[in-house]
Structure formats: C-alpha cells, structure tokens
Amino acid sequence: MLNRKKSPKIIDTVELSLQLKPYTKFTLDNGVEVYNINAGAQEVVMVEMVFFAGNWHEEKNIVAATTNFMLKNGTKRRTAFAINEHFEFHGAYLNRSCQNETATFTLHTLGKHLPKLLPVMAELLTDSIFPEEELAIYKQNQKQRLAINLKKCDFVANRLIDTYLFGQQHPYGRFTSVEDYDALQRKELAAFYEQFYTHGKCILFVAGVLPSDIEEQLNNAFGCLPLNQSILPEHSFEAKPFAEKKHEVINDASGVQGAIRIASPFPNRHHPDFSKVQVLNNVFGGFFGSRLMSNIREDKGYTYGIHSYLQNLIQQTAWLVSTEAGRDVCAATIAEVYKEMARLRDEPIDAEELHLVRNFMMGSILGDLDGPFQIIARWKNYILNGLDGQYFYNALNTIKTVPAEELQVLAKKYLNEEDFYELVVI
C-alpha cells in the first residue's frame, strides 16, 4: 500500500536512461511501407497515412491544402454528410492536415471498428469527386475566416516573417489571399488528387493496441490501391530572403498591441549544431523558466508570454522569437531580446541554470514518450526527415553533456542581432 506520509523519491531526470521503443515494419502488396507500434492500455488505434502532397508539390497556390481538406466532402457513393455520419456512428475521428512537404489522413478509433472504417478511408482515396457545391461552401468559409484573421496582428506577423525569411515564391514563404480562393477550380483539385493521393507516394504509421490481424486488415483495405505509381516530381526552391531586415506594419491604426517576430535562417536537423542549439534555445527562450520569460515577462512585465524555437521544417528551417506586447513597449521588448542574446555570447551559462535546462528537456522527452501515439509521432518525424533511431540517443547525449563553453561558442556564431529579421505588426 502506498504510504502517503512518506515523500516520493525525487529523481534527477538527467540521470535517466531513456529508451525509444522500436517500431515494427511491414510492406503492403503495393509496396506501401507500414511502421507500427503495438502498445498501450486502451483499445484505441491510430492509422495515419502520410502522402507527399504538401504545398511543396503544387503548381498553384492552396491547391494542396484544399485538396486535402475536401477528401471527406463526397465520393461517387457517399455525400459529405454520409461520410461524417459513418465515422461518428462508430465513435471514430477522421482528420486531415496539409503541411509543406506532406499531407496526412488520420483515423483514431477503437480497434474493433477497423473493418468498418478502413474500407471507407480507401474509398475516399480512390473515389472522391470534389463536388462543386462543397467547394463553393469551402471557399466562402475560408474567405470569411481569412478576413477575420487578417485583423489579428499575430496572424499577419506569422505570415510575413516566413516571407521575409524565404521569399514570397518559396513554398515556406507563400501565403493565401482572397484571390487565391476565387481562382480555385475543381479540375485542379481532381488532378492533384489523382497524382498525389490516388497514385501518390504514401507511408503508413499505425499505433495503439493493434489487432492480431492488423497487417491483413491494412493490406485488404490499402494493399490493392494504385499507390506509389506516380513519379514524385523533383522541385528545387531557392530561398530568397528580403534584403531589408527591419519591418513595421500598421495593420490596425488604433491597435494597442503589437506582434513581434525576430527570426534568422538556420540549418535543418542534419546539421551537427542542431541538437546543441536546441539546448541553447531552451536557455534562451524555449520554456517557462527561460531567460526571455524571466526578463521580459517576469521582470519587465512587457508581455504575457514570449518563446523562441527552431521551426520543424524538412528542407530549411529558422530560429524564431515570438511574442505579443503592448504597442508602447514593442521597441523595449526587442531591445531586451537582443540584450539576452548578448549575455549568451558574452557569459558562459552557469552550472545550475544549465542543469535546470537539461532536466527540463529530459523530462519533456519522457513525457513525449508516454503512449504509443506519441512514440510513433517521434518515429514519423525521424523517418520523414531522413533520420534513424540513433538520432534520438545522440540528442539525449547532447542534452546531458554539451558544455557551457560550447554553447557560448554557438551563441557567438548564431545569436547576432545583424543576422535576424525583425518584424512588428500593430
């Protein structure tokens, strides 16, 4: 029996030896690779299909995102209402999402309902018809949502900072306009769907308490589909950052708050500095006890929250600081960000602070491994970025051992004011 009069032992997470549960892999009859984690306490299963169908591959803006969204909006046999009713009847959740390089089609359900749901997922990938009336509703709703969001300074700032970093013609830097929605045509969606979904490159990620016949079920549903038959076109986009690095945009002349974004291009996960800079970033602004939070929120009171992070992009990435502050203190907030950069360049991080950050990062990873869905999500991130399981253990070792002197060298290399784009949107 648990003795509640005795305090539990406090464990230093830096001392933990974390293990990443390995996946099992099999291949469907049509060559589609399936990565799976069989674990968990509840009879819940996730089936996620990843297609190389992000906006990186589109010829016309927002075709990829619209095609992905409308996968559930009608087939030759079922209306959008019937599709949604079928999944809701079984207590399942079918979601879709479009990113830069990839797009996902994800099912969460009880394992016992898979025989009823997987065939309908397959139907959506072969028989979607993109009804004109559904497209018209989608366009109207998206234009209304865009009009509302464009009044928000943080939404505008998020759009513009990527454009400054990568250029407006780069997939990472493009943003959506009302004219883009007006120009959408059903035939463009159907063509993209045919190339990148029906015949497109696909990888499956499956997790949860898996039925003993999961391989057979997936093969029956998806193994006969004409997937992986299209040749994935090779697109090469060169980032063309803006020449001017300091920008101020008045989005609302009477606005009392400004959205601040400070960002610099940064190498992707394959660069040897990436994992080390993750540690440096957490000291800088990566968690609630970071220097940016302690200074700008706790001491100065300029903002409710401020954080920095490395964007999780496949081709290129960026180091970004994000916050919202009162209009009258935006300039002071930016000045304090640069002061914290200078401190990291000029002074080594003391042992106590660095140990706190190491503990935070190890604890975060421990939480991220709590359950089969989280574990397969980490594997998916590695696989899509061309990494293997050794990356996980190398990153753990970096967190535990990277010395303060090396982090100071990295701060001198990467945290220089002249390298950062600066944006304030009022």
35 φ/ψ angles, rounded to the nearest 5 degrees? -105, 130
* Residue labelled with tokens 């969204």: 69
pLDDT value of residue 4: 85
Whether the pLDDT of residue 2 is over 80: the answer is no
Statement: residue 211 has pLDDT above 80 = yes
CA–CA dist 327, 255 (Å, integer): 8
Kindly indicate the confidence band of residue 235, based on its pLDDT and cuts at 50, 70 and 90.
confident
Q: What is the mean pLDDT of residues 238-246?
A: 92
157-163: long-range contacts, CB 8 A cutoff, minimum separation 24: 157/249, 157/259, 157/260, 157/261, 157/423, 157/424, 157/425, 158/259, 158/261, 160/247, 160/249, 160/261, 160/423, 160/425, 161/261, 161/263, 161/320, 161/421, 161/423, 162/318, 163/242
Contact by Cβ (8 Å): 265, 318: yes
Give pLDDT tens digits for 243-289: 999 999 999 998 899 999 999 999 999 999 999 999 999 999 999 99
- For every residue of 185-249, DSSP letters joined together read -HHHHHHHHIIIIISS-EEEEEEES--TTHHHHHHHHHTTS-TT-SPPPP--------S--EEEE
What beta strand segments (E) does 246-363 contain? 246-249, 257-266, 306-310, 317-326
Q: At what angle do helices 274-281 and 351-368 cross, to 10 degrees?
A: 110
**CA angle, residues 335, 250, 155, in degrees to nearest 5:** 85
Per the model's pLDDT, the better-predicted residue between 14 and 417 turns out to be 417
What are the CA-CA distances from residue 66 to residues 58, 385, 400 (Å)? Answer: 11, 24, 43
pLDDT, position 13: 81
Q: What pLDDT is recorded for position 52? A: 96
Q: Which of 1-5, 65-69, 148-152 has the lowest mean pLDDT?
A: 1-5
User: Strands 33-38 and 24-27, how do they pair?
Assistant: antiparallel
Model confidence over 300-359: pLDDT tens digits? 999 999 999 999 888 889 999 999 999 999 999 999 999 999 999 999 999 999 999 999
**Using 50, 70 and 90 to split pLDDT, how confident is the model at 31?**
very high
Residues 106-139: tens digit of each pLDDT: 999 999 999 999 999 999 999 999 999 999 999 9
pTM for the whole structure: 0.91
- The CA-CA-CA angle for residues 354, 360, 365, to 5°, reads 130
Model confidence at 91, in pLDDT bands (50, 70, 90)?
very high
Q: How confident is the model at residue 232 (pLDDT cuts 50, 70, 90)?
A: confident
Give yes or no for residue 10 having a pLDDT over 80.
no
| Contacts by residues 131-137 (CB-CB < 8 Å, ≥ 24 positions apart) | 131/73, 131/74, 131/80, 132/186, 134/70, 134/73, 134/74, 134/80, 135/66, 135/70, 135/73, 135/184, 135/186, 135/189
Name the one residue in this structure whose structure tokens are 């497109």.
Answer: 200
Classify residue 42 as exposed, middle or buried by CB count within 10 Å of its CB (0-12, 13-18, 19+): exposed
Strand 421-425 relative to strand 246-249, pairing: parallel
- pLDDT, position 15: 82
Structural domains of the chain, with CATH: 21-222 (3.30.830.10), 246-425 (3.30.830.10)
At residue 222, the pLDDT reads 97
Please, what is the angle between helix 80-89 and helix 114-126, to 10°? Answer: 160
Please tell me the chain's helix, strand, coil percentages from 3-state DSSP, rounded to the nearest 5.
Answer: 45, 20, 35
- Per-chain mean pLDDT for the chain: 95
Strands 24-27 and 306-310: unpaired
Using CB atoms within 10 Å of the CB of residue 145, give its burial: 0 to 12 exposed, 13 to 18 middle, 19+ buried: exposed
Question: What's the whole-number mean pLDDT along residues 44-59?
Answer: 96
